[in-house]
Amino acid sequence: MKQKIPFFITAFLEGMAVLVIELAGARALAPYFGTSLYVWTAQITATLLFLALGYGLGGRLSRRELPLALPSVFLGAGVWLLLFPFWRVQVLGAAAAAAGIAAGSFLAGSFLYGPPLLCMGAVSPLLIQRLQRGAYGGSAAGGIFFTNTLGGLAGGWLCALALVPHFRLGMVLGGTGAALVVLASAWSWRERNVKYAAVATPLAALLLLAAAPGAKTHFNAGGLQLDLLYSQPAPSGLIQVLKVTGGGSLTLLLDGVIQGGMHVESGLPVYNNLEYMANLSWRFHPRAKTALLLGLGSGALARQLHARGMRVEAVEIEPEIIKVSRKFFRLPAEVTVHNTDARTFINSERPGYDLILVNVFAGEAIPWHLMTRESLVRMKALLNPGGRLVVSTVTSAPGTSPGLELLESGLCEVFGSAMVFTKKAEGTGGQPVNACLIAGENLKINDGRGYPGRILPELEADCRETAATGRPARHTRAPSTDDLGSLDYEDAALRLEFRKSVMAMLGPELLGS
């Protein structure tokens, strides 16, 4: 039994490595392609494809009984992953520019992670070939796959709880590569002719990992000089805080998507979608005293509402976002933040809010499960009589898209009436624009005079123009439900345009930092 222990340890570590590559790899794709169902499908498809090819490769190699086959596949996977920090930005940037979200993420994932996954797929057949003796082939296969699967479970939780939240993705994947090189050396040590190489190879791998390019803190993006004040991988995505060099504004990004920003001197929001929500919520409910925010972002909207004398609560699933909003964006201590999922919160909370404001984005879109009929019914139940639901989303110029139609239909069916406001776009139609929807009974909008909030002068005209675009929401189709939610699919073309605009504005280097 003792001689089998190295085999099972190897299978366990191989299973861990596969899950780390899959999960950390998907996180590396997110700033370039988002986190939609298309991206996860492309990543899972690439993973299964190359593992299947690896199983076939391992089966062929096991017939030839090559002594160095097992260390060679570990070495190949390790070296490829060690190169990840060096070519990540170039590969992801090129794939994002040349193909769409689904095809681009599949191509990038196939190139960056396909070869090491192929090598990992070959490990189990090679281990089984070394373990099996006569009639014990089935027992050897069962033991290897059992241990391999346990390693995958451990690798998944290790990646989610320890690696991604605390280490740069380049270090996670490069470090995984270095570990695989060490494993290759351990298996090749018994071969007399390669003992010196078995010692030298891990040292070379560690030197290569140490030479990986470090994180930059200064960038030129969108014609602006930007300082990167904070960059931290987290379970929800890559969190970054940017400051215009020599300027007076801060911006919060999550996987390249703007979550809010603040004028440093005044503390006011610098992005119009937040001002739309703040301004329109007052125009439709000027006597509101309590507000619930689903999605905290930078905290700029919460700060605006708090400054108007309202009692404000926010729901935010990502603890790092809460820390950043307090540290960089001066979120008032009086704003209560619930660290949980928004849908979980509304399912268990009691009524008592005059306003519910939804500003939640998973990548470039609202999470589909927050906009189903069942979710909207729960939001309505939490509102006081005369309360208003305010939703921020993205649509196509001049103000319509399949996803927006789906959302309008859901609001009309649940609330009875809703209004749609969209930013006026310049140039041709089709580009992404901000939209704000207001739902509730007996909707009436005031003329905006006497607004108690403060607003940056450069955003005042924009808010007035957007308020003038209001139209009744239209009930044109069956809304999404928990059982059949198609919001992820509806605006695929819009998502592509959105990601293209993010890439054009920020550039691949900043997104890869």
> Phi and psi for 236 in degrees, rounded to 5?
-85, -15
- Entry pTM: 0.78
Domain assignments of the chain as residue spans, ordered by start = 2-210, 270-496
Q: Please, are residues 299 and 363 in contact by the beta-carbon 8 Å criterion?
A: no
pLDDT digits (tens, 9 = 90+) for 312-334: 999 999 999 999 999 999 999 99
Where is pLDDT greater, at 445 or 488? 445
Mean pLDDT of 397-401: 81
Q: Please, are residues 144 and 128 in contact by the beta-carbon 8 Å criterion?
A: yes
Q: Which of 406, 389, 474 is nearest to 440 (CA)?
A: 389
Within 10 angstroms of residue 450's Cβ, the number of other Cβ atoms is 8
Write the DSSP assignment of 427-468 as a string of letters. SSTTSEEEEEEEE-SS------TT--S---HHHHHHHHHHHT
Token reading at 378: 């729960």
Name the amino acid, one letter, at 243: K
pLDDT value at residue 135? 44
Q: Please, are residues 155 and 3 in contact by the beta-carbon 8 Å criterion?
A: no
Q: How confident is the model at residue 414 (pLDDT cuts 50, 70, 90)?
A: very high
Peptide bond into 116 cis (omega under 30): no
- 418-449 burial, b at 16+ Cβ within 10 Å, e below that, comes to bbbbbbebeeeeebbbbbbbbbbeebeeeeee
Mean pLDDT of 32-44: 77
Sequence-ordered list of residues with C-beta below 8 angstroms from that of 371, at least 6 positions apart, any chain: 391, 406, 407, 410, 480, 485, 487
CA distance 277 to 473: 17
Fold designation for 270-496:
Rossmann fold (3.40.50)
CATH number among 1.25.40, 3.30.160, 3.90.1720, 1.20.1250, domain 2-210? 1.20.1250
Q: How confident is the model at residue 190 (pLDDT cuts 50, 70, 90)?
A: low
Which range is least confidently modeled, 49-53, 219-223, 299-303? Answer: 219-223
Helix axis angle, 492-511 relative to 84-98, nearest 10°? 150
Name the amino acid, one letter, at 185: S
Give the mean pLDDT of the chain.
84
Element (H, E) at 203: helix 195-210
